[in-house]
């Protein structure tokens, strides 16, 4: 075997601490090495050309590159070698940067270690075999989970590219939080006006299958080939018959008993309801927990009035399965509760702000509803307790955010902006009103964001006070807000009529469960984890599963939309080819020695081990052995280490290769 | 039940009636209070502003005495003593270096395992049912504002296991014995504490706010479990009356005094005559007598004749 060795200086990264020419010289004397050289940037075009040239001229069979981590450039060098005619998997990388130059200071010692690392790699590559990438077929359909603005955007992008999308939304309507917003920063355009056309587009799109009031129950399979089971919750209304006339909701006797989720509890809805007039689909559902019929067996008012005979009290949850190639998770966020909920141990809550005891202490989404033309006050700023116009309003930022003792240590990122928006909307509607904002810092990074906040302060004369509020209590219908002005160094007391808490954006409570169903990671707060914080922000560690919007971290609409389009693009990349290429680094079972103990099945984190029956020519069952599903196997090697009869080999990391490396080390 | 008793300095001085009422209540409930032999000062505020080591070592000495004298539970009715004792105990548990230093000073090995309890916890421990059983006097005609101040509920991890921002453990005790409590806003507001001496004006202002809020919400009495709160709210009310025109005085009772009344213990034994703000109108109200519309200030100031 003719081996070529290439030592990269990585500019000064390796060259500063490792004497690269000396390493190259030492390598030249290793058995099997027929070519050795060093260069400043091996990954650059001239660098790659050196490798290609040597392969052609010296007829190399294998290549060892001493460079940065294989994470960085293994692919680059493999491609270069392949283009010069040798198999990509005849290339090994010795990590001279992360494993050597970056962590050592002494040049002589580091050089010595670099030579050793190179020798190990050279010994290893002698046992490499040419491998072929694995090809798996791709189902060119997407599943989008969550129908907020992120899910809507992702679904439309994919559908407009000509591929089918299944959009699963757990609520009766799509739209998410954006449908609740009044006007949006930094342009103050009406949220519904920009959102509803897109919701309708989703509904009418021939390529989008909308499953509302549904949840993902189970996911099997792997990138390009997922099989998803979806629970369609019983709406008690036959979707295909309903025309959305709304008569049922109008006549439903439970008018005042159920709090409207859409209006954040500031108004009531009937037992049979659509969340809001522009809902998509415009089909009501019966909330069985409050419906008189489901409680007492009597009523059936909706059934009586429905001219389409669409009401079906006997409807059950049903399950459908969908085959898809990619999954986009866009399940969004929820708000930190200002009510006392001791059973939710994730946060301690704010007793000093009244724990939802005072009707006039509300959260940001409630203010959005009050300010919204479609809200419970038709857009007039009226406080909940007595429906009067508040003349003094106090906004408190960072409630639950940036507060480890009561909530979360992260910044919710959007509340500085929406608080400025709220204060502005208030001033635009209540001209003689006074608005105060208590803040810790104003974080308004973003295009036209800082200007927006300055406008609130300078043009709309919102009073910004830097400091925390220590206590709120109600006295004679006024909310006494006690705080500190840390810039003036003085205590402040404001007698307010309405207080709005900018509570933290937090992960959906069932996010960890969904993450487990999808086999993706989530962080300690319950937000889904990206594959790489910088270079793979919308991918997850599970191939074919992508993230969009506020289910990943607090995000505003522009960021959510951008992320959704990115996730859609990632799906489309997948759909660009008929077959999917995968690294051949997977486990392989030696069927002749496999004893069928299936320890490997127990330890495999990716459910990649299946059972295979071995039969003789007469069709009699001889034995059952382990079989690796090449689509699912991630090449982690756990089974390889577990197998008691050593019947599993990890291709590309087999015993011969590893032992060659270790033996080379022992010879040192 | 044998209970170690650490009265602390205040209960032998300014808060004598706290001490006497407590002892009366416990003897009525058949609970032996055994005073810690040779106890010393917990260090109070002075120690921890002077030297951190001192503030841990002084309580540690008492904790070790309690261990040696065979107590499992140690009652520290004063909120400040309680706070110092539990803080020191916690620090000795978590900070090995500190523990070794203190062991050096005390010349003995520090062992853990003592239960330090305050007034509220001891009533919870006795059981609200037992209190109910022994109830003799109906106090439902008066409304109490329970005042926690700072030290009973803070710091959050080591003090009374209650909600630091809106506690209600005192209320549940009073309600259990048939009393009424008011929902008010200054339960945990600071009374000014030791500023009482150097900045009396500030303390007056703070106490005025607390008292006014209690009254506004219909309280006939403020119930406390801390000698410092008591002296600020009771004694400084005299100055408040001078400095704030039209101030309506309100009696300040220790929780043990109120429970004593419920158990039918004699008012004098409970030290109800030792207050700056006359408790007689309150006692009359409990008994159902008509409360005089306006009590002359002099009479209020003197306290009931012993
Ligand atoms: C008070 C307030 C004001 C705001 N104002 C602005 C503003 O002016 N401008 C701006 O840019 N941003 C604003 N935002 C931020 C904005 O709300 C978010 O950026 C945006 O809603 C994120 O969209 P999303 O689709 O990622 O999540 P969401 O809007 O939360 O949508 C998620 C969707 O997924 C569904 N879902 C959840 N779990 C599941 C599940 N398991 N299965 C199926 N479906 C599921 C939900 O029902 C929902 O429909 C504001 C936020 C708040 C709190
Ligand atoms: S269920 Fe019937 S009454 Fe109700 S909206 Fe649909 S068609 Fe109208
Ligand atoms: S965005 Fe502003 S208000 Fe929200 S947590 Fe961050 S700093 Fe606080």
Q: Is the CB of A502 within 6 Å of ligand 3? A: yes
Residue B157 has pLDDT above 80, yes or no: no
Strand partners of residue A623: A614
Residue of the CA atom closest to atom 2 of ligand 3 = A416
Residue B2 has pLDDT above 90, yes or no: no
Residue A342 has pLDDT above 70, yes or no: no
Pairing verdict, β A134-137 and A579-582: antiparallel
Quick one: tokens of A366? 């409630």
Q: Which contiguous run of DSSP H or E holds residue A164?
A: strand A164-168
The C-alpha atoms of residue A486 and residue A138 are separated, in whole angstroms, by 59
Strand partners of residue B245: none
Of the listed ligands, the closest to the CA of A563 is: 1
Quick one: tokens of B35? 């005073």
More confident residue, A578 or A557: A557
Q: Is the dihedral of CA A416, A417, A418, A424 positive or negative?
A: positive
> How confident is residue A641, by pLDDT bands cut at 50, 70 and 90?
very high
Q: Which pLDDT belongs to residue B76?
A: 94
Strand partners of residue A649: A588
The C-alpha atoms of residue A269 and residue A260 are separated, in whole angstroms, by 5
Q: Which pLDDT belongs to residue A383?
A: 97
Quick one: tokens of A463? 């009073």
Whether A400 contacts A503, CB under 8 Å: yes
What's A587-651's CATH class?
Answer: alpha beta
DSSP secondary structure of A277-325:
TT-SS---EE-TTT-HHHHHS---HHHHH-TT--B-TT---EEEEEEES
Q: Is the CB of A608 within 6 Å of ligand 3? A: no
Whether B19 contacts B7, CB under 8 Å: yes
* Domain A141-331: assigned CATH number: 3.50.50
Q: Which pLDDT belongs to residue B302?
A: 47
Tell me if residue A540 falls in helix, strand or coil.
coil
Residue A305 has pLDDT above 50, yes or no: yes
Q: Which pLDDT belongs to residue A364?
A: 97
Chain A CB contacts of B185 below 8 Å: 473-475, 480
Residue of the CA atom closest to atom 45 of ligand 1 = A146
The C-alpha atoms of residue B234 and residue B203 are separated, in whole angstroms, by 12
Buried b / exposed e across B32-49, counting CB within 10 Å, b at 16+? ebeebeebeebbbeebbe
Q: What angle do CA A437, A443, A446 make, to 5 degrees?
A: 125
Quick one: tokens of A211? 């499953």
The C-alpha atoms of residue B122 and residue A474 are separated, in whole angstroms, by 33
Enumerate the domain spans of chain B.
2-117, 135-300
Q: Is the CB of A443 within 6 Å of ligand 3? A: yes
Of B159, B164, B189, the residue nearest B82 (C-alpha): B159
- Which residue of B164, B213, B216 is in closest CB contact with A351? B164
Q: Which pLDDT belongs to residue B46?
A: 86
Does any CB of chain A come closer than 8 Å to the CB of residue B185? yes
Q: Which pLDDT belongs to residue A538?
A: 97
Measured over all CA atoms, what is the biggest interatomic distance in chain B, rounded to whole angstroms? 63
CA distances from A308 to A241, A299, A303, A316 (A): 6, 18, 9, 20
Q: Is the dihedral of CA A115, A119, A121, A125 positive or negative?
A: positive
Residue B299 has pLDDT above 70, yes or no: no
Cis, peptide link before residue B155, omega less than 30° from 0: yes
More confident residue, A598 or B288: A598
Whether B271 contacts B257, CB under 8 Å: yes
The C-alpha atoms of residue A347 and residue A341 are separated, in whole angstroms, by 9
Q: Is A489 left (phi over 0), alpha (psi -120 to 50) or beta?
A: left
Fold of A3-125: Rossmann fold (3.40.50)
Residues with beta carbon inside 6 Å of ligand 2? A 237, 242-248, 284, 305-306, 308, 310-311
Out of 3.50.50.60, 3.40.470.10, 2.60.40.10, 3.40.720.10, the CATH code matching A333-506 is 3.50.50.60
Whether A150 contacts A57, CB under 8 Å: no
What's B135-300's CATH class?
Answer: alpha beta
Kindly report the number of other CB atoms within 10 A of residue B237's CB atom.
25
Q: Which pLDDT belongs to residue B303?
A: 46
Percent of chain A past pLDDT 90, that is, above it, reads 90
> How confident is residue B155, by pLDDT bands cut at 50, 70 and 90?
confident
Place of tokens 């600071």: B190
Residue B170 has pLDDT above 90, yes or no: yes
The C-alpha atoms of residue B233 and residue B250 are separated, in whole angstroms, by 9
Residue B291 has pLDDT above 90, yes or no: no
> How confident is residue B156, by pLDDT bands cut at 50, 70 and 90?
confident
Q: Which pLDDT belongs to residue A344?
A: 57
* Average pLDDT value for chain A: 95
Burial group, residue B189, by CB count within 10 angstroms (0-12, 13-18, 19+) = buried
pLDDT tens-digit readout, A139-191: 999 999 999 999 999 999 999 999 999 999 999 999 999 999 999 999 999 99
Contacts of A330 by beta carbon, 8 Å cutoff, 6+ apart: A144, A145, A146, A147, A148, A150, A151, A154, A547, A548, A549, A551, A564, A567
Q: Which pLDDT belongs to residue B305?
A: 40
Residue A343 has pLDDT above 80, yes or no: no
Closest CA–CA distance from residue A351 to any residue of chain B (Å): 5
Whether A586 contacts A136, CB under 8 Å: no
Residue A401 has pLDDT above 60, yes or no: yes
CB contact under 8 A, A474 and B185: yes
Print the SS3 string covering A432-491. Answer: CCEEEEEECCCCCCCCCHHHHHHHHHHCCCCEEEECCEEEEEEECCEEEEEEEECCCCEE
The C-alpha atoms of residue A404 and residue B179 are separated, in whole angstroms, by 38
The C-alpha atoms of residue A48 and residue A45 are separated, in whole angstroms, by 5
Window from A545-549, A638-642, B109-113, B290-294 with minimum mean pLDDT: B290-294
Tell me A369's DSSP state: H
Residue A605 has pLDDT above 90, yes or no: no
CA dihedral (A633, A634, A638, A640) in degrees, to 10, reads 60
Of B144, B171, B184, B153, the residue nearest A473 (C-alpha): B184
Q: Which pLDDT belongs to residue B165?
A: 87
Closest CA–CA distance from residue B165 to any residue of chain A (Å): 5
> How confident is residue B290, by pLDDT bands cut at 50, 70 and 90?
low
Q: Which pLDDT belongs to residue B255?
A: 96
Whether B143 contacts B180, CB under 8 Å: yes
- Which residue of A351, A474, A480 is in closest CB contact with B163? A351
DSSP secondary structure of chain B:
-EEEE--TTGGGTTTHHHHHHHHHHHHHTT-EEEEPTT-----HHHHHHH-HHHHHHHHHHHHHHHHHTT-SEEE--SHHHHHHHHHHHHHHHH-HHHHHHHHHHHTS-----PEEE-HHHHHHHH-HHHHHHT--S--TTSEEEE--TTTTT-STTTS-SS-SSS--HHHHHHHHTT-EE---S-TT----TTHHHH-HHHHHHHHHHHHHHHHHTT-SEEEES-HHHHIIIIIHHHHHHHHSTT-----EEEHHHHHHHHTT--TTTTTTTS-SS--HHHHHHHHTPPPPS---HHHHHH----
Contacts of A556 by beta carbon, 8 Å cutoff, 6+ apart: A185, A413, A414, A417, A446
Q: Which pLDDT belongs to residue A668?
A: 65
pLDDT tens-digit readout, B39-71: 999 998 888 889 999 999 999 999 999 999 999
Tell me if residue A662 falls in helix, strand or coil.
helix
Residue B295 has pLDDT above 70, yes or no: no
The C-alpha atoms of residue B275 and residue A474 are separated, in whole angstroms, by 31
Q: Which pLDDT belongs to residue B304?
A: 41
Tell me A226's DSSP state: E
Q: Do A141-331 and A333-506 fold alike per CATH?
A: yes
CB contact under 8 A, B185 and A350: no
Burial group, residue B297, by CB count within 10 angstroms (0-12, 13-18, 19+) = middle
The C-alpha atoms of residue A422 and residue A500 are separated, in whole angstroms, by 9
More confident residue, A512 or B193: A512
Print the SS3 string covering A22-60. Answer: HHHHHHHCCCCEEEEEEECCCCCHHHHHHHHHHHHHHCC
Tell which B residues from 107 to 136 touch A, by Cβ distance under 8 Å. Answer: none
Q: Which pLDDT belongs to residue A217?
A: 97
Q: Which contiguous run of DSSP H or E holds residue A70?
A: helix A70-83
Out of 2.40.50.70, 1.20.1050.140, 1.10.3720.10, 3.55.50.30, the CATH code matching B2-117 is 1.20.1050.140
Does any CB of chain A come closer than 8 Å to the CB of residue B158? no
The C-alpha atoms of residue A536 and residue B176 are separated, in whole angstroms, by 60
Closest CA–CA distance from residue B166 to any residue of chain A (Å): 6
Residue B195 has pLDDT above 90, yes or no: no
> How confident is residue B27, by pLDDT bands cut at 50, 70 and 90?
very high
Best residue in A475, A479, A491 for a mutation probing chain B (most B CBs within 10 Å):
A475
Place of tokens 């921890």: B48
Residues with beta carbon inside 6 Å of ligand 1? A 145-151, 168-171, 176-178, 181, 184-185, 215, 330-333, 335, 364-365, 368, 414, 418, 421, 508, 510, 514, 549-550, 555-558, 560
The C-alpha atoms of residue A9 and residue A101 are separated, in whole angstroms, by 10
Enumerate the domain spans of chain A.
3-125, 141-331, 333-506, 587-651
* Average pLDDT value for chain B: 89
């Amino acid at each position: 075997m003719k081996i070529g060795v290439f030592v990269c200086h990585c500019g000064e990264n390796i060259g500063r601490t490792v004497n690269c020419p000396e390493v190259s010289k030492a390598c030249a004397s290793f058995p099997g090495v027929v070519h050795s050289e060093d260069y400043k940037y091996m990954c650059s075009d001239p660098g790659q050309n050196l490798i290609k040239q040597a392969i052609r001229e010296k007829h190399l069979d294998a290549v060892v590159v001493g460079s940065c981590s294989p994470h960085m450039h293994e692919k680059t060098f493999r491609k270069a070698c392949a283009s010069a005619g040798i198999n990509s998997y005849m290339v090994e990388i010795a990590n001279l940067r992360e494993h050597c130059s970056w962590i050592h200071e002494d040049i002589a010692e580091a050089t010595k270690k670099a030579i050793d690392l190179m020798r190990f790699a050279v010994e290893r590559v002698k046992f490499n075999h040419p491998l072929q990438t694995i090809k798996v077929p791709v189902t060119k359909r997407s599943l989008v989970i969550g129908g907020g603005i992120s899910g809507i955007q992702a679904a439309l992008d994919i559908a407009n590219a000509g591929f089918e999308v299944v959009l699963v939304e757990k609520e009766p309507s799509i739209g998410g939080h954006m449908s609740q917003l009044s006007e949006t920063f930094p342009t103050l355009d009406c949220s519904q006006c920009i959102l509803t056309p897109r919701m309708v587009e989703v509904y009418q799109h021939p390529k989008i299958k909308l499953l509302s009031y549904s949840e993902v129950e189970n996911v099997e399979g792997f990138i390009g080939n997922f099989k998803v089971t979806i629970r369609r919750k019983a709406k008690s209304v036959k979707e295909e018959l309903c025309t959305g006339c709304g008569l049922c909701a109008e006549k439903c006797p439970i008018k005042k008993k159920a709090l409207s989720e859409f209006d954040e509890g500031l108004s009531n809805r009937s037992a049979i309801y659509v969340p809001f007039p522009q809902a998509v689909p415009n089909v009501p559902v019966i909330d069985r927990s409050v419906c008189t019929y489901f409680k007492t067996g009597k009523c059936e008012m909706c059934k009586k009035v429905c001219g389409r005979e669409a009401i079906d009290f006997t409807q059950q949850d049903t399950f459908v399965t969908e085959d898809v190639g990619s999954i986009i998770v866009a399940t969004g966020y929820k708000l930190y509760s200002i009510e006392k909920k001791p059973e939710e141990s994730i946060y301690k809550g704010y007793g000093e702000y009244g724990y939802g005891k005072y009707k006039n202490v509300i959260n940001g989404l409630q203010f959005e509803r009050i300010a919204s033309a479609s809200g419970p006050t038709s857009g007039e700023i009226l406080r909940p307790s007595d429906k009067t116009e508040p003349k003094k309003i106090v906004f408190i930022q960072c409630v639950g955010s940036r507060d480890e003792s009561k909530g979360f240590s992260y910044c919710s990122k959007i509340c500085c902006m929406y608080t400025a928006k709220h204060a502005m909307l208030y001033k635009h509607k209540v001209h003689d009103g006074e608005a105060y904002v208590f803040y810790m810092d104003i974080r308004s990074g973003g295009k036209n964001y800082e200007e927006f906040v300055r406008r609130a302060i300078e043009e709309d004369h919102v009073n910004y006070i830097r400091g925390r509020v220590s206590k709120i209590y109600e006295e004679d219908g006024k909310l006494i807000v006690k705080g500190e002005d840390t810039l003036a160094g003085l205590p402040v007391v404001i007698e307010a009529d309405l207080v709005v808490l900018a509570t933290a954006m937090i992960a959906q409570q069932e996010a960890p469960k969904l993450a487990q169903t999808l086999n993706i990671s989530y962080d300690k707060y319950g937000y889904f984890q990206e594959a790489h914080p910088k270079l793979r922000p919308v991918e997850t560690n599970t191939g074919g599963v992508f993230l969009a919007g506020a289910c990943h971290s607090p995000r505003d609409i522009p960021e959510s939309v951008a992320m959704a389009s990115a996730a859609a693009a990632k799906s489309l990349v997948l759909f660009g080819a008929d077959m999917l290429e995968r690294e051949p680094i997977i486990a392989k079972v030696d069927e002749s020695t496999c004893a069928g103990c299936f320890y490997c099945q127990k330890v495999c984190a990716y459910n990649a081990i299946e059972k295979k029956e071995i039969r003789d020519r007469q069709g009699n069952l001889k034995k059952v052995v382990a079989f690796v599903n090449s689509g699912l196997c991630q090449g982690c090697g756990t089974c390889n280490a577990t197998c008691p009869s050593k019947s599993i080999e990890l291709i590309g990391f087999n015993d011969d290769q590893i032992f060659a490396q270790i033996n080379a080390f022992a010879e040192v | 039940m044998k209970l170690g008793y650490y009265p602390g300095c205040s209960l032998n001085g300014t808060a004598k009636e706290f001490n006497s009422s407590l002892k009366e209540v416990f003897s009525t409930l058949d609970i032996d209070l055994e005073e810690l032999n040779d106890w010393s000062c917990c260090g109070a505020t002075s120690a921890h502003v002077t030297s951190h080591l001192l503030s841990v070592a002084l309580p540690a000495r008492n904790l070790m005495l309690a261990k040696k004298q065979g107590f499992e539970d140690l009652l520290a009715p004063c909120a400040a003593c309680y706070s110092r004792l539990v803080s020191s105990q916690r620090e000795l548990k978590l900070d090995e270096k500190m523990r070794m230093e203190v062991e050096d000073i005390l010349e003995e090995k520090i062992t853990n395992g003592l239960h330090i309890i305050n007034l509220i916890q001891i009533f919870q421990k006795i059981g609200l049912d037992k209190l109910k059983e022994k109830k003799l006097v109906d106090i439902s005609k008066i409304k109490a504002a329970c005042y926690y101040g700072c030290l009973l509920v803070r710091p959050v991890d080591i003090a009374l296991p209650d909600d630091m921002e809106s506690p209600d453990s005192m209320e549940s005790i009073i309600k259990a014995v048939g009393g009424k409590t008011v929902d008010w806003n200054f339960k945990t507001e600071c009374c000014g504490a030791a500023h009482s001496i150097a900045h009396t004006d500030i303390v007056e202002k703070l106490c005025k706010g607390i008292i006014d809020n209690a009254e506004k919400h219909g309280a006939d009495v403020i119930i406390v479990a801390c000698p410092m709160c008591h002296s600020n709210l009771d004694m400084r009310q005299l100055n408040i009356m001078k400095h704030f025109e039209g101030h309506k005085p309100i009696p300040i009772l220790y929780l043990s005094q109120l429970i004593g009344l419920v158990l039918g213990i004699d008012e004098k034994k409970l030290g109800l005559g030792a207050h700056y703000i006359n408790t007689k109108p309150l006692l009359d109200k409990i008994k159902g007598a008509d409360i005089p519309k306006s009590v002359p200030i002099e009479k209020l100031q003197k306290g009931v004749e012993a």
